[in-house]
Amino acid sequence: MFYQTRAKNLTVLLVLGGLALYAVYGGYFAREIVVEIALLAMLAIALDLVAGYGGMISLCHGALFGIGAYLFGGLTALVGTPVWLATLAALAGTALFGWAVGAVTAGIGGIFFIMATLAFGQMAYVIVFEWRALGGDDGLAGIPRTDLAGIGLDTGDSLTFALLSLAALALSYTIAAIALRSSFGRTLTGIHANEERMRALGLNVRRHKAAAFALSAAIAGAAGLLAAQHTQYISPEYLVWTVSGEALIVVILGGIGTLAGPLVGAVVFVALEHVVARFTDYWHLVIGILLIAAVMAGGRGLYGEIERLLAPGPGTGKGGDGA
Amino acid sequence: MLEVRDLSKKFGGLEVSRGVSLDVAPGERRVLLGPNGAGKTTLFNLIAGTLKPDCGTIRLDGSDITGMTVNQRARRGLARSFQKNNLFEGLSVRDNLALAVATGEGRTGSLLACAHDSAATLTQLAEIAAQVGLSAHLDWPVAHCSYGVRRQLEIGLALATRPRLLLLDEPTSGIGPEGVAAFNALIASLPRHLAMIIIEHDLDLAFSIADRISVLSEGVVVFEGTPETTRHSRQVRELYLGAFDD
Ligand SMILES: Nc1ncnc2c1ncn2[C@@H]1O[C@H](COP(=O)(O)OP(=O)(O)OP(=O)(O)O)[C@@H](O)[C@H]1O
Ligand SMILES: [Mg+2]
């Protein structure tokens, strides 16, 4: 069961606060990194919702991220849809796709579930890649950012955009936390713990899984549409399955089934990517070693270690909230 | 309440149910006897919807539920406990019961409110916990509970949805004489309008809790009657040879 504990509060506030300070006092490069972390963390939160709490290890979250980006990019750059409407359409469209994935895969377990989500992701990738109007391999440019001049914000400014990305991350975490704390989230945890029993108690498991996947997809899509606004250019690279793999690495590294862990995982992942890559080409090796350490240390990842430091006691340091 | 007609089920070449018919009246307490492998659990799986019959029909309160899913049947007031404990392993006893109560009430979809913490749920949870003797164990993780406690929780989960028809599959298996006495008291304390089918191997317990008894053997109902007539049935005595005498 999910509880927004003191350790989670502290972790989330430290990560958000630290990143905000880094964005404010760092230069342009620092702000780019902050955006990268914030969007990766949003994607990881979306994945943790279904994987850590619902037991649905998805390999299509990269595709959901890409679908959000392409729906937003396509509508604004090609159709000329207003940004606010394109945002709503991108969120709704990604949620719908996620709902379909959840509904179709609800009866599938284990490795076959992972393969089925991978197939959905590849399908989306191929469609985007082959769709000439979307630019195919060349990608799609000319994507606008949200215009917030009305409230005195210039989203073209790197600091403003970095802080807005952090706000979006905070909002995503809050939505996920509220959903997990609700009847909906408790029920999802119940499905993870014992699907057959939930059915025997009267739950329509397929419908619930589909709804959870839709919510998760909407958060992943939000990250994607912000990424499209950030670079103002998108390519099918977003939908490649390795993006899903990276998201899963971030979740496991940070602590699967902890919700706060994905934030920590995203910070460490992006930091290693940039810092370690400066010294050696083998930064994936470093990530790999960390990943093994995280799994060996009880499966609660980096967040598990933070929890042990902040709130030592029984019940910490082993397994996720969802298990 | 429940009308089972000519249910048949094959696993490959093995006919596990062969034209089973069974009628349970509202509020009736039916005990299902039968040797190992007779097809008792399979019959439960057919009634609960876990298995689809090859032919035959199942009616609940007059409506045909043969084509319904497990959860649709549960929503209509059917609950079951499992022969092998089937709990929410990683969670506490309290969270186990809360899931069952909230799901039984259909309060699973709210994204904002948490039915598990509502006063109504907590009241019902406390009531169920007291009934099955788990009041002192609510905060225990299920994984740390003894077999007997887990067995009580198995029944608690089935009761928590406030069913109208309750299927209990060997509720007293492996819990010792004290547990059997507690179970006997539990059944006696349950409201009379709750209909039940109980698979039971303990004949004394069966005779004391049953309104009627059905005996299943090799997928066929070979006997049905009151505890008194069952006690004197030659057929039953042959199946349970030496198990009881009078
Ligand atoms: N899913 C299945 N696939 C194949 N055979 C099965 C399946 N389920 C049960 N059987 C077989 O059907 C027969 C009846 O099994 P069932 O579990 O219904 O018996 P039972 O009366 O509940 O026995 P027990 O008292 O041992 O619990 C057994 O021979 C069993 O091996
Ligand atoms: Mg059995």
B17 lines ligand 1 (CB under 6 A): no
Q: What integer pLDDT is reported at residue A227 of this predicted model?
A: 97
Instruction: Please check the confidence at residue A118 and state whether its pLDDT lies above 70.
Output: yes
Give the 3-state secondary structure of residue A233: strand
Of the partner residues B74, B86, B160, the one whose CB lies closest to the CB of residue A194: B86
- Closest residue, chain A, to B80 (C-alpha): A200
Overall domain count for chain A: 1
Residue A191: inside a domain:
yes
Residue A273: inside a domain:
no
B67 lines ligand 1 (CB under 6 A): no
Separation between Cα atoms, residue B95 and residue B230, nearest integer Å:
41
* Residue A153 vs residue A322, higher pLDDT: A153
Residue A303: inside a domain:
no
Separation between Cα atoms, residue B104 and residue A161, nearest integer Å:
47
B219 lines ligand 1 (CB under 6 A): no
Q: What integer pLDDT is reported at residue A145 of this predicted model?
A: 94
pLDDT tier, A316 (very low <50, low <70, confident <90, very high otherwise): very low
Residue A270: inside a domain:
no
pTM summary value: 0.93
Q: Beta strand B220-225 with B212-217: parallel, antiparallel or unpaired?
A: antiparallel
Count CA atoms closer than 13 A to B187's CA, side-chain side.
26
Give the 3-state secondary structure of residue A115: helix
| Per-run averaged pLDDT (10 residues), chain B, 246 residues | 95 93 96 93 97 96 95 97 96 96 93 87 95 95 94 96 96 92 93 95 92 94 92 81 51
- The reply to whether residue B91 touches residue A182, judged by beta carbons under 8 angstroms, is no
CA torsion angle for A100, A104, A108, A109 (degrees, to 10)? Answer: 10
Instruction: Please check the confidence at residue A317 and state whether its pLDDT lies above 50.
Output: no
| Residues in a beta bridge with B47 | none
**What confidence tens digit (pLDDT) does each residue in A35-91 have?**
999 999 999 999 999 999 999 999 999 999 999 999 999 999 999 999 999 999 999
Q: Residue A143 gets which letter from DSSP?
A: P
| Whether A314 contacts chain B with CB within 8 A | no
DSSP secondary structure letters along B8-29: EEEETTEEEEEEEEEEE-TT-E
Residue A54: inside a domain:
yes
Q: Beta strand B165-169 with B55-60: parallel, antiparallel or unpaired?
A: unpaired
Task: For chain B, list the domains and their CATH numbers.
Answer: 2-77+163-239 (3.40.50.300), 91-150 (no CATH)
In this prediction, residues A179-208 reach a mean pLDDT of 97
| Residue keyed to tokens 């609940």 | B60
Single out the residue of A102, A51, A113, A91 nearest to residue A210, CA to CA: A102
Instruction: Please check the confidence at residue A312 and state whether its pLDDT lies above 70.
Output: no
Residue A289: inside a domain:
no
Q: Give the distance (Å) from ligand 2 centre to CA of residue A263.
A: 48
Residue A32: inside a domain:
yes
Q: Give the number of beta-carbon pairs within 8 Å between A and B.
A: 97
Q: What is the mean pLDDT of chain A?
A: 92
Residue A224: inside a domain:
yes
Instruction: Please check the confidence at residue A195 and state whether its pLDDT lies above 90.
Output: yes
Are B212 and B224 contacting, i.e. CB atoms less than 8 angstroms apart? yes
Write down the ipTM of this complex.
Answer: 0.93
Q: Tell me the nearest-neighbour CA distance from A203 into chain B, angstroms.
A: 5
Residue A64 lies in domain: 6-240
- List residues of B whose CB lies inside 8 A of any A CB: 48, 50, 69-71, 74-75, 79-80, 86-91, 95, 98-100, 102-104, 106-116, 157, 160-161
Q: Which helix (H) or strand (E) holds B195?
A: strand B195-199
| Whether A3 contacts chain B with CB within 8 A | no
Interface test with B, best of A201, A215, A256 (most B CBs within 10 A): A201
Contact list in B for residue A323 (CB cut-off 8 A) is: 90
Q: Give the distance (Å) from ligand 1 centre to CA of residue A108.
A: 25
DSSP secondary structure letters along B227-240: HHHHHT-HHHHHHT
The percentage of chain A sitting over the pLDDT mark of 70, rounded to a whole number, equals 96
Separation between Cα atoms, residue A229 and residue A77, nearest integer Å:
11
- Three-point CA angle A316, A3, A20, nearest 5°: 90
In this prediction, residues A270-295 reach a mean pLDDT of 84
Separation between Cα atoms, residue A278 and residue A36, nearest integer Å:
17
pLDDT tier, A286 (very low <50, low <70, confident <90, very high otherwise): confident
